[in-house]
Chains A and B, each alone.
Chain A
Amino acid sequence: MSRDITIELTGLHLGNPVLLAAGILGSTGASLKRAAASGAGAVVTKSIGTVPKPGHPNPTMAETACGFLNALGLPNPSYREFADELRVAKEGGVPVIASIFGADAREFREVAEGLAGADAYELNLSCPHAEGYGAMVGTDPGLVEELTAAVKDCTRAPVWAKLTPNVTNITGIGLAAQRGGADAVVAINTVRGMAIDIESGYPVLGNKFGGLSGPSIKPIAIKAVYDLYEALDIPVIGVGGISSWQDAVEMIMAGAASVQIGTAAGRDPEIFRKVASGIISYLDSNRWELSDIRGLAHEVTYASD
């Protein structure tokens, strides 16, 4: 018999704990539906704001020897246009989480209300390269608490706060989100980074710097999730560098209630089913349930204990 890996996450029922991360294949309803059809337990949209934004000039993405740099700059058609995409995405039959961003509480609320019908909201408090948004607000615990509370105030849907790793103390930010009423935190967004063309001195990205994603940031994400799991009472959703079921299991052992896949989903849009079935086989062969491995890294004993 194969293991049940369905989960309840902030009141949402998910067929499996492997989710599509924000900003990857999430710009259209059709593409979100495709991720759902590929086995994602839920899908998160591209981050949406109040007005149409073209984002940063190309190059918006670059491959380095140890991962991808991106500075898309939150391109989005505004919630007014995206409401249609959200409707289409919901035909996919899995929960659709609207990732939203804004410069202040009023903007966050406006977008959340404009995207009514989302199964949950993920607050982008963490984009490392958009002037005035994302990590610009997500590094200040006071603002994080205020913004989270503002969105909680205007919706009955669960609210997740997505955190940036580009701070000295991520648990401080996580606790602020929890105080603001967040139902979960999502960690991590990309790690601030930059690449320079040595033939000319030009920064490679149009925005000059951006955020690193992919396998190289997994250890950073594991540590963030491990720390947040210890410090917080609300669930932690782990994201950063996951590209196999082994990575997902590791993230869950760090304490993640579920995982999200970004970069690797772009490389292989069919990855969700592979990771989910890998988790099932792993649990089967060890005769474990999903709950047995969640946070396992916090429970192991040492000879010196």
Chain B
Amino acid sequence: MNLTLKVWRQKNASDKGSFATYQVNDISEEMSFLEMFDVLNERLIAKGEEPIAFDHDCREGICGMCSMHINGRAHGPWSGTTTCQLHMRAFKDGDTITVEPWRAKAFPVIKDLVVDRSAFDKIQSAGGFVSVNTGNAQDANCIPIPKDDADASFAAAACIGCGACVAACKNSSAMLFVSAKVSQFALLPQGQVERVDRALNMVKEMDAAGFGNCTNTGSCEAECPKEISLDNIARLNREYLMANLKK
């Protein structure tokens, strides 16, 4: 297929940036979106131009690095899919594809399509863990957990921290991410000890990072590659309310 690509190019964090247009010919439908970028970059390098910087790591939909806003959609047109799992058959021959970085004050652009997502790391380190000394794993059956809770916790734990929820939200709110991280522990006995502090501290860190506030538009859930449910945001609101009553 032959495509026209409009890609955001920005030298560094302080550069203003602008779109550059590339004609990309002879692309296979079987390629992933990132492989198409690899081809484009090789051609740019061969011409002596600066390749386009973009984040990626696992290329199998589990690391959450491949942040790209494609034709107005976080991770492109397929739902429940990361950019690396998006294939070129999602597009038609002759299409023009516009690729932008995540746009949020809390995710400043470092270069081209690469953004700084360390705000998520800060939120995580404010409480997204259980403080236990490591050692031998104890017998799995000594802490009984209802199957429904285990399933809901596991579903929340599927969050890969990609930031698509922030990118898709009109308010750049990080509520879906934080709610997934809080829910994953709130549902398990191991998470109870730090439950109150976790909700308070993670929300505090989220607000400090400059994310917007949730107005329940639901774009995050629609765009999340791991299909994290809005139920988690209701749970986070509950946890936060209760935590405030307790502390």
Question: Do A and B interact?
Answer: no
Residues of A in contact with B (beta carbons under 8 Å apart): none
Residues of B in contact with A (beta carbons under 8 Å apart): none
